[in-house]
Structure 1
Amino acid sequence: MSSQDVLQNASTLASYNVVLQVMFRVLTFFLNAFTLRFVSKELIGVVNVRLTLLYSTLVFLSREAFRKACLSGGSGKSHNWRQVINLLWLTFPLGLIWASLLVCVWLWLLEVPDPKAIPYYGPAVCLFASAAVQELLAEPLWVLAQAHMFVRLKVVAESLAMVAKCSVTVVLVVCARQWGLYIFSLAQLIYTGFLVLCYVVYFLRFLGSEKATQMCFPLLRVGDLLPSRADGEPLINWTLARLTWSFYKQSFLKQILTEGERYVMTFLNVLSFGDQGVYDIVNNLGSMVARFIFLPIEESFYIFFAKVLERGRSVKSQKQEDVAIAAEVLERLLKLVLVIGLIIAVFGYAYSHLALDIYGGSLLSSGAGPTLLRCYSCYVLLLAVNGVTECFVFAAMSQEEVDKYNVVMLGLSVSFLSLSYMLTWWAGGVGFILANCLNMGLRITHSLLYIHRYFRSSQWTPLRGLLPSPLLLLALGLSAVITALSQAVFCCDSGWLFRLVHVAVGAACLAFVLAAVVLTETRLVLFVRTQLLPSYRKKHT
């Protein structure tokens, strides 16, 4: 498969993932808005912080390192897939071990919520852990699908699972509110069950089909999806196993950096369950764009960079055509996420109060919610740049460099936890966001230095993508001033007519900014149209 084909497949995957994440965020958005009317913010705090942290920690520590290692250079011809499948099945027993340890911590070491206000905490912990272990059953199938660019499978599977989860949650919240945490636990089990079922059904139909034969799929029978050993070859690929171990050591630190504020809230009790619930709602609102645009781009283009670049080799020792494509794509991605991040930061300040008032009423807009969301809008800009830079760095690093970076991650983790604890006592929930900003700035600096060194001896300078045009900066600056004045005059205690005027002012400013992008960032616009919009690409290929 040529570099251009890999780019098109990665772009298609990113596009479908963006659509998928938009749908997820919209469903979750309305689901949270709905449940806010029926359950307490304390219950939401326990579900969205305490139990979701258990689930994400278990899943991340069990599979993330395997995914990164097995997708490196992951074409069907470059791997012995029997050995890769064997390696991937280790995620399930590893998940059982982590489930046993984490359930004990969540039940016996952490503060147990008041059973009168938040009933069935113990069973909910066990059910969330079971849901995470259940999801690991699909891990070999997920990696196979990602490595061979089965882009629609992920979209269909996760869409059906999310629709099922939301439907169950709504029905039980309305009809059986007294079930408490059982509602969300059962919904999570149904979500992971649908995921596994979709992947199993797809591969049962796909293996041995004419399509599989035409694309020379490396597995022939359903039995090949199970652990097995061929005569004369090792049980697993030990090179991949060592790379997995390098990523595994890093995964502990990355999980702390990713979910650090939840760990501080959970283990140090710096916020009450109710405050945790408000913070999590604001965090979800603020991270919507990061999750449904930036995260799919990061996941999809990590696969692109890992396939196009040879891990651990210098620019001069690789195919120059491949390096040129990688550099150009990196520059365009940096410019794309920078523009989106700047727009969010500018308009987030003036429209945070209105967004929270519409979404949750005075429960969210009367307290620290607007300040939290404004700070988070600035943090999204750092999230955007870090996602793209790290996706390139992790795809290009050698195993030795990954091991060295683990030391850097250890220092970042310690500093982040310390900053989170101190800043939260000083500034409440805003302290978490400030600590995240400082930490993200350090990670971006490390990645930028690596990229600069990587391309230093070549003709390519992809970091130019971080330099927006002067006209765009002017448009953003004017929009920031105008929308801030509109916020002070029209929003948000003067009735719906004044709110509509405030929205209209923002729409006009946004149109001005987008016009500046179209006029000055023509290469970026062309990249988005030809690579990230599937319908346009199909018409012109």
Structure 2
Amino acid sequence: MEPGPGAAKQPQEALRHAARLTSYSAGLQVLFRVLTFLLNAYTLRYVSKETIGVVNVRLTLLYSTVLFLSREAFRKACLNVGADQKWAQIINLLWLIVPLGMCWALLLGWIWLQLVTIPHPALVPHYGIGVVAFGLSAVVELLSEPLWVLAQVFMLVRLKVIAESLAMVAKCALTVVCVTIVPHWGLYIFSLAQLLYSSCLLACYVLYFVKFVGSQEAQRKSFPISTMSDLMPKYLYHQHVINPRLAILTWTFYKQSFLKQILTEGERYVMTFLNVLNFGEQGVYDIVNNLGSLVARFLFLPIEESFYVFFVKVLERGKDIGHQKQEDVCMAAAVLEMLVKLVLLIGLTITVFGYSYSQLALDIYGGSMLSSGPGPTLLRCYCVYVLLLAVNGMTECFTFAAMSKEEVDRYNFMMVALSLAFLGLSYCLTWWQGGVGFILANCLNMGFRIAHSLQYISHYFKLSENRPLVGLQLPGPLLLAYLGSAIVTSFSQATLSEKGLMALTVHVLLGAVCLIIVLITIFFTEPKLVQFVKNQFLSQHKKET
């Protein structure tokens, strides 16, 4: 049995749930990224890189923008609730996501059709159909949002894994079949696949709740919904139709969501609206971006999402730590320290070994089309960005969980300036360095955000004996292991990687030996981290099986 939300308010239960959710989400992201990885490698052999660029940059940006601007603020505000809340008000608030999503889909769809450069029909046909299909897909997916929030709050973690896995498998299967049989359909294929994904996702959530609502399991979890009609919006007599406090908090996060979306997808907006790269170059950049962000998406993002839930349940938002339970504060600080160190080591490992093996990875994945051009340089730069992305994700996870509404508002003003600076840097650096300029701008952006989060965390714990930021400090032997690995693999890459199969095999074996040395050094120099990973992640798999 998984604990209900009332039990999750206890720090230990919340920590166990966050670790379990991270494990499930990480597994789900692994599946997604592997399937996408294989799908891109397969479709590259049947469709043009221009089509890949339009789908993975232009149309996916439309889809993700509609989703993010419609639901992100509601998710952040409504996840920090429990069984004692008036769920009818919360459900009414959550259903506002759907009309909001329709408005964004119509507005952004018109922009995508009228105000940006449209690909030539002979090169990428059916562009208009693609815009409509991806916008509609986002709206269909938003219909499941109230059910998603309920599943998260009441820790129905398997539902998310099963629903998204089935939807992704269906999408990939349809894409492969259509690309193989009717590749000339072009964007029709990807449009149908995207609509199938959203429809499957919605169907899984609806079917699950039809079975779950009113069941004995729901009663054991103190689930507040007794009939399916309770999941629909309704007028409430003699009380507020929506929760006023959550509505205000949602609006606060909503203002921030515009800025975060610009910072998250900034390079795609620059590519879409300023046309600094042609569609073929966008396709290559996106492929490298997907490959470079493989670990960031399937590991860092689930950790951030899951432990955000842990921090908001353990800490009281906006309260000085002197007025909170000290055992809760100590636990949050200890967990933050371990998580920061964990993602730092993962990011460093990717950076050190990514430099020497980027060209080989691209050659295996896409052949000379990727490995002979700017692809290796792009991927090497992206490995450095992944390190910054790891640290920023974890520090911002804690910062947003602990900030008061007023502090979030002040941060929003800073994000305005940061967003404008980022867009300007992206435009200038791209004209100077092409696709590498996008990555450099992202690195600078992440650096500023990390500095702000570190300053906030340091100030938050200044009156406490807890110092979670020591997680950023690494022991000398481990630093030497990373430095030695960087030197050995770089020399190997320069002298062996292009001298035949035998030399390439030696290059790979040297990298494997260096990686083993690094892992052994981590095991002996970071015993607390090893124990944390063993207790909070590995043990969860054993318990579930």
TM-score (norm 1): 0.98
Question: What is the aligned counterpart of 1:47 among 40, 55, 59?
Answer: 55
Pairwise CA distance, 1:231? 2.6
Distance 1:230 1:101 in 2: 31
1:177 pairs with 2:183: yes
1:86-235 equivalences under 5 Å are 86-235=92-241
The aligned counterpart of 1:23 is 31
Pairwise CA distance, 1:535: 4.6
Distance in 1 of aligned mates of 2:340 and 2:20: 18
What's the CA shift for 1:214? Answer: 1.2
Report the CA distance shift for 1:106/1:539 in structure 2 as closer, same or farther (over 3 A): closer
| Contact kept? 1:531, 1:537, Cα under 8 Å | no
- Establish whether residue 503 from structure 1 lines up as the match of residue 508 from structure 2: yes
1:198-347 to 2 correspondences below 5 Å: 198-347=204-353
- Aligned-partner residue type, residue 215 of structure 1: K
1:156-195 C-alpha deviation (Å, 9 max, x unpaired): 0110011000000000100111111011111011111111
CA contact (8 A) 2:16 2:536 kept: yes
Partner in structure 1 of residue 528 of structure 2: 523
Asked if structure 2 preserves the Cα contact closer than 8 Å seen for 1:375 and 1:433, the reply is yes
Residue in structure 2 matched with residue 68 of structure 1 by the alignment: 76
Could you give the per-residue CA deviations for residues 459-517 of structure 1, whole angstroms, max 9, x where no partner exists?
100001111111111100000000001101211x3333222211111110000000000
Kept in 2, the 8 Å contact 1:327–1:461? The answer is yes
Instruction: Tell me the C-alpha RMSD between the 2 structures.
Output: 1.1
CA contact (8 A) 2:340 2:391 kept: yes
Equivalent pair of 2:263/2:419 in contact (CA under 8 Å): yes
Q: Is 1:532 equivalent to 2:540 in the alignment? A: no
CA–CA distance in structure 2, aligned partners of residues 196 and 63 of structure 1: 15
Amino acid paired to 1:365: S
**Which stretches in structure 2 are left out of the alignment for 5+ residues?**
1-6
- Contact 2:24–2:158 at 8 Å: present in 1 too? yes
Conservation of the 8 A alpha-carbon contact between 2:20 and 2:540: no
- Alignment of 1:459 onto 2:459: no
The residue correspondences of 1:4-19 to structure 2 (distance < 5 A) are 4-19=12-27
Q: Distance in 2 between matches of 1:533 and 1:243?
A: 35
> Aligned with 1:533: secondary structure?
helix
- Alpha-carbon distance between aligned partners in 2 of 1:427 and 1:229, rounded to the nearest angstrom: 56
Partners of 1:529 and 1:536 within 8 A in 2: no
CA–CA distance in structure 1, aligned partners of residues 428 and 541 of structure 2: 50
Deviation at 1:537, TM superposition (A): 5.7
In the superposition, relative to structure 1, how do residues 452 and 473 fare at CA in structure 2: closer, same or farther (>3 Å)? same
- Output one character per residue of 1:203-247: Cα deviation in whole Å (capped at 9) or x when no partner: 110010001111211111111110123332210001100100000
1:8 counterpart letter in structure 2: R
Indicate if the aligned counterparts of 1:99 and 1:129 stay in contact, CA closer than 8 A.
yes
How far, CA to CA, are the matches of 1:65 and 1:86 in structure 2?
15
Q: Is the 8 A contact 1:349 1:484 kept in 2?
A: yes
Match in the other structure for 2:4: none
Instruction: Tell me how far 1:534 sits from its aligned partner.
Output: 4.2
1:57 counterpart residue number: 65
Q: Tell me, yes or no, if the aligned pair for 1:246 and 1:402 is still in contact at 8 Å.
A: yes
Shift of 1:539: 9.1
Whole-Å Cα distance in 2 between the matches of residues 536 and 21 of structure 1? 16
Say if 1:75 and 1:307, in contact at 8 Å, map to a contact too: no
Correspondent of 2:477 among 463, 471, 474: 471
Shift of 1:271: 0.3
Following superposition, the deviation at residue 117 of structure 1 comes to 1.1
The one-character-per-residue Cα deviations of 1:40-83 (angstroms, maximum 9, x if unpaired) are 111100000000000000100000000000012x2222x21111
CA distance in 1 between partners of 2:503 and 2:48 (Å): 31
Cα deviation 1:389-443 (Å, max 9, x = unaligned): 1111111111111111110110110000000000001100000000000010000
CA contact (8 A) 1:286 1:373 kept: yes
Deviations 1:10-44 (A, max 9, x none): 11000111111111111111110001111111110
2:395 aligned with 1:389: yes
TM-fit CA distance, 1:337? 0.1
Change (3 A) 1:176 1:241: same
SS in 1 for 2:91: helix
Question: For the residues of structure 1 that align with 2:335 and 2:442, how far apart are their CA atoms?
Answer: 27
Given that 1:529 and 1:537 are in contact with CA atoms closer than 8 Å, whether structure 2 keeps it comes out as: no
Distance (Å, rounded) in 2 between the aligned partners of 1:43 and 1:101: 24
1: CA distance, partners of 2:459 / 2:431: 39
User: Counterpart of 1:349?
Assistant: 355
> Residue 360 of structure 1 aligns with which residue?
366
Cα distance in structure 2, aligned partners of 1:157 and 1:503: 38
Distance 2:504 2:200 in 1: 42
Contact kept in structure 2, 1:82 and 1:229, CA below 8 Å:
no
- Corresponding residue for residue 499 of structure 2: 494
Instruction: Normalising by structure 2, report the TM-score.
Output: 0.97
Aligned residue identity for 1:519? F
Identity value in percent: 64
CA distance in 1, matches of 2:336, 2:542: 19
Matched, 1:416 2:422: yes
Structure 1 alignment gaps of length 5 or more = none
What is the rounded CA distance, in whole Å, between the counterparts of 1:37 and 1:496 in structure 2? 24
Contact 1:83 1:237 in 2 (8 A): yes
What aligned pairs does 1:363-378 form with structure 2 within 5 A after superposition?
363-378=369-384
